[in-house]
């Protein structure tokens, strides 16, 4: 990416956050002239955003910090259709009630990343359902559809594989998604003088559709900027783990699990991620990298990344909670923990459950731990037992202990007569609390 004449764009470029832009030189000039309004869309495909949306969310914040006005668009309308961009298969449609419920959740979530201060560049959250719900089909086809050429639409890389791919196709509904998103841009240009849309690089086709439509309908030049897809050096998909997606909602991914996710970042990715996911300056990040390379010991970057991102998403308190659990599980002896510490760990989001004596009677360790979701099947627990990698309060259990459930979880063996910390393998922990 060429050096531009705009400080913000220079920084973004240094961070590797710019994949593509429309009319680069003109965009720099456009942003230099005065505060502009930009938007980024988030479709409600679940009841929470996940870390895949973090880069664009932070991007809005970066623009706001530079004095521009961010609009976070929640796709109440587009979420009902489904974006086909680079998706291998047609998606299942979600019901309207479900989608509108998700819209509300995303609205709140998105709001925490941008500032609403009542000033000129105060953020706003908009919903594209507001301007599409009363759209009349005939008007839509005449006023909007006419501006789109099927010939160029099927040339878009984002849908090409769906069109060419053997065994899968694309419905008219999803094919039309691009037109709806383009209409959003034109509409936001009319309503808010919005002149820039940002998004992931998979959105390029949809974004340029919007810049074209805005020019044709409104006669205004507007811009697009995309961020690179977050990739990992080992080629696996970013944002997924054994346990699934890393969500921004702490009820879906605990602060502790969230922190742990970032802590596990590969050396090969961590400096790039610092640039993508934090507001640390590029110089500071380069300094961290230099120091890690020279230190010859375990790098610092992962814990800095984990701390910064956890703080951004879950606040200072969330970070403290995550660190508290991490310290207890990985650094300290459990014996040092007070009774209050144990109950605090529960509150902090350490996976835990309460058990009664009845739950234990006659049960097996395998099914007990599967029920607590420490393993996917009894076979896995059995495997771990055979390798002596199941620990209850730091005591290794073997396959011969499998049927001794009630004995193992007898109150005499628990910390403070009721706490049992179970470890399966190196990283999976679960706190069981015995009921009186």
Judged by CB under 7 A, the chain residues 147 through 206 that form the site for RNA are 166-169
**Closer CB to RNA, 67 or 299, in the complex:** 299
**Closer CB to RNA, 87 or 382, in the complex:** 382
**Closer CB to RNA, 391 or 416, in the complex:** 391
| By CB under 7 A, residue 119 contacts RNA | no
Contacting residue, 367, 401, 413, 433, with RNA by CB under 7 A: 367
Indicate the SS3 state at residue 176. coil
Dihedral sign for Cα 211, 217, 218, 221, please: positive
Query: What's the closest the beta carbon of residue 163 comes to RNA, in angstroms?
Result: 7
Judged by CB under 7 A, the chain residues 214 through 233 that form the site for RNA are none
Judged by CB under 7 A, the chain residues 258 through 277 that form the site for RNA are 260, 263-264, 266-267
**Closer CB to RNA, 89 or 108, in the complex:** 89
**Closer CB to RNA, 20 or 176, in the complex:** 176
Taking alpha carbons only, the member of 8, 54, 47 closest to residue 27 is 8
Query: What's the closest the beta carbon of residue 374 comes to RNA, in angstroms?
Result: 8
Dihedral sign for Cα 41, 43, 47, 52, please: negative
* For the chain, the helix, strand and coil percentages under 3-state DSSP, each to the nearest 5: 50, 15, 35
State both tokens at 195. 């002149």
Indicate the SS3 state at residue 47. coil
| By CB under 7 A, residue 379 contacts RNA | yes
Query: Distance from CA of residue 288 to its chain's centroid?
Result: 25
Interatomic CA distance for residues 319 and 323, integer angstroms: 6
Query: What's the closest the beta carbon of residue 365 comes to RNA, in angstroms?
Result: 8
Contacting residue, 147, 252, 311, 382, with RNA by CB under 7 A: 382
Interatomic CA distance for residues 58 and 72, integer angstroms: 11
Interatomic CA distance for residues 119 and 233, integer angstroms: 41
| By CB under 7 A, residue 143 contacts RNA | no
Part of the chain binding RNA (CB under 7 A), chosen from 60-68, 112-120, 208-216, 235-243:
235-243
Question: How, if at all, do strands 20-21 and 244-245 pair?
Answer: unpaired
**Closer CB to RNA, 204 or 273, in the complex:** 273
Interatomic CA distance for residues 188 and 198, integer angstroms: 13
Helical packing angle, 204-218 and 177-192, nearest 10°: 50
**Closer CB to RNA, 147 or 430, in the complex:** 430
Query: What's the closest the beta carbon of residue 351 comes to RNA, in angstroms?
Result: 13
| By CB under 7 A, residue 366 contacts RNA | yes
| By CB under 7 A, residue 375 contacts RNA | yes
Question: How, if at all, do strands 223-227 and 240-241 pair?
Answer: unpaired
Judged by CB under 7 A, the chain residues 282 through 341 that form the site for RNA are 298-299, 302, 326, 330
Interatomic CA distance for residues 89 and 286, integer angstroms: 40
φ, ψ of residue 199 to 5 degrees: the values are 180, 175
Beta strands in 159-263 (DSSP E): 194-200, 223-227, 240-241, 244-245
**Closer CB to RNA, 240 or 418, in the complex:** 240
| By CB under 7 A, residue 402 contacts RNA | yes
Report whether 137 contacts 176 (CB < 8 A). Answer: no
| By CB under 7 A, residue 396 contacts RNA | no
| By CB under 7 A, residue 352 contacts RNA | no
**Closer CB to RNA, 35 or 233, in the complex:** 233
Judged by CB under 7 A, the chain residues 76 through 115 that form the site for RNA are 90
| By CB under 7 A, residue 407 contacts RNA | no
DSSP letter for 430, please: E
Say how many residues touch RNA, by CB under 7 A. 41
Taking alpha carbons only, the member of 65, 58, 50, 4 closest to residue 30 is 4
* Site of interaction with RNA (CB under 7 A): 90, 166-169, 234, 236, 241-242, 260, 263-264, 266-267, 298-299, 302, 326, 330, 364, 366-367, 370, 375-380, 382-384, 387, 389, 402-403, 424-428
């Amino acid at each position: 990416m060429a050096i531009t004449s705009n400080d913000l764009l220079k920084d973004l470029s240094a961070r590797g956050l710019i994949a593509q832009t429309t009319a680069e030189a003109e965009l720099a000039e456009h942003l230099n002239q005065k505060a502009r309004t930009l938007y980024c869309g988030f479709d409600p495909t679940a009841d929470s955003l996940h870390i895949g949306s973090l880069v664009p969310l932070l991007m809005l914040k970066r623009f706001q910090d530079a004095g521009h006005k961010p609009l976070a668009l929640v796709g109440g309308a587009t979420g009902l259709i489904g974006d086909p961009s680079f998706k291998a298969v047609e998606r299942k449609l979600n019901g309207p009630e479900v989608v509108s419920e998700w819209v509300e959740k995303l609205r709140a979530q998105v709001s925490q990343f941008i500032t609403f201060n009542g000033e000129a560049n105060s953020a706003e959250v908009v919903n594209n359902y507001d301007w599409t719900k009363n759209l009349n089909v005939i008007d839509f086809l005449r006023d909007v559809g006419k501006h789109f050429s099927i010939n160029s639409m099927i040339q878009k890389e984002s849908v090409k594989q769906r069109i060419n791919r053997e065994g899968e196709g694309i419905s008219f509904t999803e094919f039309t998604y691009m037109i709806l998103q383009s209409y959003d841009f034109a509409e936001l240009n009319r309503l808010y003088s919005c002149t820039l849309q940002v998004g992931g690089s998979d959105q390029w086709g949809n974004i340029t559709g919007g810049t074209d439509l805005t020019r044709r309908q409104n006669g205004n030049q507007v811009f697009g900027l995309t961020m690179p897809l977050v990739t990992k050096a080992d080629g696996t998909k970013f944002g997924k783990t054994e346990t699934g997606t890393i969500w921004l909602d702490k009820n879906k991914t605990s602060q502790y699990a969230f922190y742990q996710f970032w802590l596990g970042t590969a050396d090969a990715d961590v400096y790039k991620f610092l640039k993508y996911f934090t507001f640390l300056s590029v110089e500071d990040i380069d300094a961290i990298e230099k120091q890690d390379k020279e230190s010859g010991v375990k790098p610092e970057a992962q814990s800095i990344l984990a701390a910064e991102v956890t703080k951004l998403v879950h606040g200072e308190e969330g970070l403290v909670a995550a660190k508290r659990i991490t310290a207890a599980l990985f650094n300290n002896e459990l014996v040092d923990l007070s009774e209050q510490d144990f109950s605090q760990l529960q509150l902090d989001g350490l996976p835990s459950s309460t058990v009664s004596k009845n739950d234990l009677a006659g049960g097996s360790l395998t099914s007990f731990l599967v029920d607590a979701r420490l393993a996917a099947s009894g076979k896995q627990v059995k495997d771990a037992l055979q390798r002596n990698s199941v620990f209850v309060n730091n005591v290794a259990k073997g396959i011969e202990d499998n049927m001794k459930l009630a004995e193992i979880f007898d109150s005499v063996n628990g910390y403070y007569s009721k706490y049992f910390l179970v470890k399966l393998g190196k990283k999976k922990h679960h706190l069981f609390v015995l009921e009186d």
